[in-house]
Amino acid sequence: MAIQIHDTLAGEKVELHPIVPGKIGLYACGPTVYDHAHVGHARCYVVWDVVVRHLRARGLEVRYVRNFTDVDDKIIARANERGEEPVAMAARFADSFLEDMDAVGCLRPDAAPRVSGSIPGIVALIERLVTRGFAYAPGNGDVYYAVRKFPAYARLSRRNLDDLIAGARVDPGESKRDPLDFALWKAAKPGEPAWDSPWGKGRPGWHIECSAMTLEHLGAPFDIHTGGKDLVFPHHTNEIAQSVAALSEGLEPESFARHWMHNNFVEIDHQKMSKSLGNFFTVKDLLVRHDGEALRLLLMGTHYRNPISFTDTLLADAERRLAYLYETLEKGDQVAAGGAAAGEPAPWAEAARAALDDDFNTAAVLGILADAFTAANATADRKGKTPPPDREEMARFGRDARAVGAELGILQREPAAALLALREKAVARRGIDPAAVEARIAERTAARRAKDFTRSDTLRDELLAMGVVLQDGPAGTTWKVE
């Protein structure tokens, strides 16, 4: 079993070799919590959730760390606008983020450090950088990292240092020696949270925060550092520079994190979905009208390194696909009653896992699942008494489908409960009155018993015009929303 990942630092796919055999340390740059999570956040953390799930399914012991940035310029600005205390406001939005990630099926990390709880480690790391000559304090309470001291500064981003110098600037009030240098510690300002330090009261800069939290919870080196591709520069570039300078004599980026993985964006009209552009949908708003598992399914439909388009229509299509998967599972379970799910996983299930081994290609896995579910439907729809071989085949299908689904974080609900939940969302979205639907179904049942098939067909057509599809079976009539 060889797992291939696309390593941003290497610039290509490489084979994953754990630093400690059988174990993986993975750090995901978490959200800056000054608002509710949007779909771009959901895409990012669904990606890393699949990575963690698959690595664990392959027998690796994964320590998954995902932080909260709760001390930051954006948080302070938003809190001041609202008249709130910044760290308290951030805590509220962190709780909201956890609710949203739960709703889209993301596992909780093993550790979720917050900047506000990591200040001593941040100060100690900055002190080490000053001692080693990679940082300087100009005497005004700020501390800066000296970029030119680190030869491998542009290796992750593959940017030309001369271009970076041309684009760099010194903002008013800064005391940098070089425009490329960046703040590790910022002197206290009125209305901002502040902590004690050797340089006076202040707060950390953004980049040093993640370095301190990774080192506290994973040590160095660790295996995989992840985040959105917008973090490659400057955040991850600066994180490497300061972490390696504090730790390593050789100044090799791999002495901090061995591999770097980055996901692409969710796009609206070919633009990145983001709060700053104002073109975003919050997860909470979407979950009023849509199912969280369907959102997850949509977000896995494109390889994580490619951009993915988002619309309400695409999400509704994902909901219909999810309903089909659960309907097939439900039929398969009925056919499989009494059948034993013995034997090795089906070839399609092994192919799905191989696709995940190949840089976590969820889009390929969903295509494999689609073919497997089509075949299972054909088996389940065979007429006549179901022979034992079919029962065993469907039992194996149900087992394998749920096992592959577990690595994707889908298909873990009881089918009947999932289908009911999906129907409830569709009913609310379409403005359908369930009581009126049930009344028409009861009237249609009575018409059929009276052999008034004209009236029965009329009622079915009326419901179909509302978007309601009837499904007649031995146990009676059920319905769903198209």
How far is Cα 58 from Cα 2, in angstroms, rounded to an integer?
10
Alpha-carbon distance of 453 to 423, in angstroms, equals 27
More confident residue, 236 or 438: 236
pTM: 0.93
| pLDDT tens sequence across 342-397 | 889 999 999 999 999 999 999 999 999 999 999 999 888 875 566 667 888 899 99
DSSP H or E segment with residue 404:
helix 388-408
Instruction: Write out pLDDT tens, residues 205-226.
Output: 999 999 999 999 999 999 999 9
Per-residue pLDDT, 267? 87
Q: How is residue 236 written in tokens?
A: 């991850």
- Give the residue with greater pLDDT, 23 vs 472: 23
Looking up tokens 């399609």 gives 348
Tell me the DSSP string of 406-436: HHHT-S-S-HHHHHHHHHHHHHHHHT--HHH
Q: What angle do CA 254, 258, 263 make, to 5 degrees?
A: 120
Nearest to 69 by CA among 46, 108, 97: 97
Show Cβ contacts of residue 35 under 8 Å, excluding neighbours closer than 6 positions: 78, 93, 275, 282
Whether pLDDT at 338 is above 80: no
What pairs with residue 12 in β-bridges? 7
pLDDT digits (tens, 9 = 90+) for 397-420: 999 999 999 999 999 999 999 999
Confidence band, pLDDT 50/70/90 cuts, at residue 167:
low
- Does 435 score more than 70 pLDDT? yes
Which two three-digit tokens encode residue 270?
Answer: 């070919």
Strand 222-228 vs strand 257-263: parallel, antiparallel, or unpaired?
A: parallel
| C-alpha distances in Å from residue 119, one per residue of 122, 201, 449 | 5, 12, 74
Q: Is the model's pLDDT at 138 over the cut of 70?
A: yes
CATH class of this structure's domain 19-272? alpha beta
**CA angle, 31 then 34 then 35, to 5°:** 90
| 47-61, 96-110, 433-447: the lowest-pLDDT one | 433-447
What are the pLDDT digits (tens) for 306-320?
999 998 889 999 999
Confidence band (pLDDT; 50, 70, 90) for 116? very high
- Mean of pLDDT over the chain: 92
DSSP letters spanning 152-214: TTTTTTT--HHHHHHH----TT---SSTT-EEEEEE--TTS--B--TT-SEEE-HHHHHHHHH
Q: Do strands 23-28 and 143-145 pair parallel, antiparallel, or not at all (unpaired)? A: unpaired
Is the pLDDT score of 169 beyond 80?
no
Distance CA 454, CA 389 (A): 41
pLDDT more than 70, % of the chain = 95
Residue with tokens 């088996």: 379
Side chain identity at residue 481, one-letter code: V
User: Does residue 171 carry a pLDDT above 90?
Assistant: no
- The tens digit of pLDDT for each residue in 47-71 reads 999 999 999 999 999 999 999 999 9
